Structure 1
Amino acid sequence: MEPFKNLVNATTVANAGLHLQRAWSGFDRPRFEALANHGLDALELKARMLQLADAMRATLPDDFNNACNVLETSLAPPLPMDAKGEPEGLSGSAAESGLAGWVIWSMGEFVARHGQHDVARSLTCLHALTQRSTAEFAIRPFIQQQPEAVWPVLTRWANDPSAHVRRLVSEGSRPRLPWGLRLQALVADPTPTLPLLRALQDDPSSYVRRSVANHLNDIAKDHPDLVARWVKDHLIETIPERNALLRHASRSLIKQGHAPTLAAWGLASGLKGHAGLSLSAPSASVGESIGLRVTLRSTARQAQPLEIDYAVHHVRANGSSSPKVFKGWKLTLAAGEQRTLDKRHSLKPVTTRTLYPGLHRIELRVNGAALAEASFDLKP
């Protein structure tokens, strides 16, 4: 898979120069492109975005309102949404009609850096930018530095006709947005965002609802009981979209075996019966996979809802180990039923985790309780 950084390249710069010049005849396109392209290939993704933002600062009008006018005029039409409310062509760019896609991140960065003195104008510009990609990173400095000016706008945007804008309300205010500025005030107290999430959790767009789920999952990292109460208070089985949203929001807490969350989902009871775990081989090499076989036998007189996960205790560089929980199965075990479940676990290296040789323990968790384990030797 091609690295994301390569999607921000000389073609991206040329396209930006073309449409910024179209929007403002006084735009110094050669200077912009020279500044934006300088050493670009050696930079990582975020550094490329920041360099384009610096080039915009050097070549857009000094007056911030006029600069925003140029940015807005250079844009393509808003990205269309499919039948499920998902954006079409989110990562692309509309070279003929105007700017969209990755370059929007740089445009938002320009607004975030130079628009703190005029929050209203900045937010109007971000409202336009987010409909061509996302302004989730750009809005966060405004939330951090001037929340009293931003919250009323986000409250209004929760009812905006554009799903892109409604998603920004949730995604832009996530306490721990990946790649984004951490909003420490909301990490400590997420209360200001709760009315927004309540207004958006039944949004017709799956794009918006998924953001709400991820926002609640963020909150769960610091306030697990709050999210457990949210699930208990808002779960309505007859609304499948909300059910799915709350399930996704609960995923980390269910993996952790958080008792109030398990209770909210009717998973508080442990397995009535027996569970076993066996592996397909005593050893495996990095880059291969290993098979897991789970055996379940119910001794109950009624059906049992079960959430079955497994934790791999990965060996670390210093010889210690740390568990990583993986999703397994969600099922209902009938009274007296015996069932066998099989799964392959990949041992291919990933960017977020280095695999070290050594004895790895796998722990089977049923409704949050560790019921069985097995081990294998990971070889280089």
Structure 2
Amino acid sequence: MPTADELLSADTVRTLARLLAAAAGRTSAPTVLTCADALDGLSYSARVAAIRDAVLADLPADWPGFEAVVRNALTDRPGLGRFDGWMTFPVNEAVAVRGLEAFEPGLALLHDLTPRLTAESAVRPFLRADPARALAVVRDWTADPDPHVRRLASEGTRPRLPWAPQLPAFIADPRPARPVLDALYRDESEYVRRSVANHLNDISRDHPELAVEIAAAWLAAPTTGRVVRHGLRTLIKAGHPGALTLLGHAPDVLVTVDGPHISTPQVAVGGYLVFDYAVTNSGSTPAELVVDYVIHHVKANGTRTPKVFKLATRALAPGEKLTGTRRHSFKPITTRRYHSGEHLVQIQVNGRVRGEAGFSLDAG
């Protein structure tokens, strides 16, 4: 993943200062220029905030003047660089501050900025301030000829968009944004459809039954299977019966599971858990299977917490067997702290545990 300096480097911000100064008809944007030399040690989010505040300081305080400068910056100026990419992200955030009182014109400016780099985070203050008013604009974006704008409609309204402010109103009730998704789930662009699937996955975390209801309606269209599968991925891993059944993975499917057979009963952090397994369709009809494994990690207090990982999605004929060996890494990662103790690995088929075994982890 790129570092904060790679995304918003001092040189990038100096280029932004030149472009904004030219767009404003001035010789410099002094606050943005000074900001370029004060970024060392700042995280990406801190850099965005600092540059946003510098942009607000250098550009006119009134909305018409502010908007005019930003729109002028969208006109390419040979020799000065291009107003594009990550430098636009803090400008989008400045629009979210200065344009909130203007509202519809503020959203219109984000519409025009998002092809340069997504404004998905900047649109959210408008949705938080007045969801109905903002949605009236966003719904029109679903028919825009530019896929970046159509994706903005879906991504910007996600209840739990990563690395962005949550939308509490849509977490409590995501239905007002559903017309946006219904307009886009068959979009010609994979880029847009992927966003729709991620939005549906957000909904599934708080309203699983609604997510399944939406997915069931979409499956009437022949091109939405992939969108639905990706959108219900969290429910599939969690073994949600409605999601599994909708996708043809009956929880009570007739299978025989042999394993997991562990070949590394003692694992050190930095090493691997190695196990093999076999799943046989013991029924008399073909079976659509989602085969996962679950690691129950020991917590600091000695209890365990499960994490589901994918093994295979396969159709097995009657009597057909699926076999495999998995190496699961216990390499240190920033998102998980390992603790010594007796762990557990389970094989899960269509959301139901079919076999398990224990192993010991030494965290050092």
TM range (shorter): over 0.9
Q: Which moved more, 1:66-75 or 1:368-377?
A: 66-75
The aligned runs of 1:5-24 (5 Å cut-off) are: 5-24=5-24
Matched letter for residue 173 of structure 2: D
Equivalent residues in 2 for 1:196-211, closer than 5 Å: 196-211=180-195
2:230 maps to a residue whose letter is: H
Q: Distance in 1 between matches of 2:201 and 2:137?
A: 24
Unaligned 5+ runs, structure 1: 78-93
Give 1:255's aligned residue: 237
Q: SS of the residue aligned with 1:197?
A: helix
Alignment of 1:231-310 (within 5 A): 231-236=215-220, 238-239=222-223, 242-276=224-258, 277-310=260-293
Is 1:140 matched up with 2:124?
yes
Q: Which amino acid aligns with 2:346?
A: E
Name the CA shift for 1:208/1:138 in 2 (closer, same or farther; >3 Å).
Answer: same
Superposition TM-score, scaled by structure 2 size: 0.94
Structure 2 match to 1:165: 149
Q: Is the contact between residue 13 and residue 37 of structure 1 (CA under 8 Å) also seen in structure 2?
A: no
Deviation sequence 1:2-25 (CA, Å, 0-9, x none): 524542121121110121122122
Contact 2:18 2:28 in 1 (8 A): no
Check the 8 A contact 1:36/1:51 in 2, yes or no: no
Q: Which residue of 2 aligns with 1:221?
A: 205
Aligned residue-pair number: 361
List structure 1 segments (4+ residues) > 3 angstroms apart after TM superposition.
94-97
Decide whether aligned partners of structure 1 residues 236 and 279 sit closer, same or farther in structure 2, where only a CA change above 3 A counts.
Answer: farther
Q: Give the letter aligned to residue 259 of structure 1.
A: P
Q: Equivalent residues in 2 for 1:19-168 (5 A)?
A: 19-26=19-26, 28-38=28-38, 40-75=39-74, 97-168=81-152
- Helix, strand or coil: the match of 2:355? strand
- The percentage of aligned residue pairs carrying the same residue is 39
Q: Which runs of 5+ in 2 are unaligned?
A: none
- One-letter amino acid of the counterpart of residue 166, structure 2: R
Query: Displacement of 1:272 after TM fit?
Result: 1.4
Q: Is the 8 A contact 1:267 1:305 kept in 2?
A: yes
Between 300-309 and 63-72, the greater mean CA deviation after superposition: 63-72
2: distance between equivalents of 1:330 and 1:125?
44
Structure 1 residues 10, 364: CA separation in 2 closer, same or farther (over 3 Å shift)?
same
* SS of residue matched to 2:121: coil
Structure-2 change in CA distance of 1:27 and 1:134 (3 Å): farther
TM-score by length of 1: 0.90
Deviation, 1:70, is: 1.4
Instruction: Pick closer, same or farther for the CA change 1:70–1:271 going to 2, 3 Å.
Output: same
What is the CA–CA distance in structure 2 between the aligned matches of 1:179 and 1:27, rounded to whole Å? 35
Q: CA deviation at 1:347?
A: 1.4
Shift in alpha-carbon separation, 1:178–1:5, aligned structure 2, 3 A: farther
Counterpart of 1:366 (choices 341, 344, 349) is 349
Instruction: Give the superposed CA RMSD.
Output: 1.9
C-alpha separation between the residues in 2 aligned to 1:13 and 1:288?
42
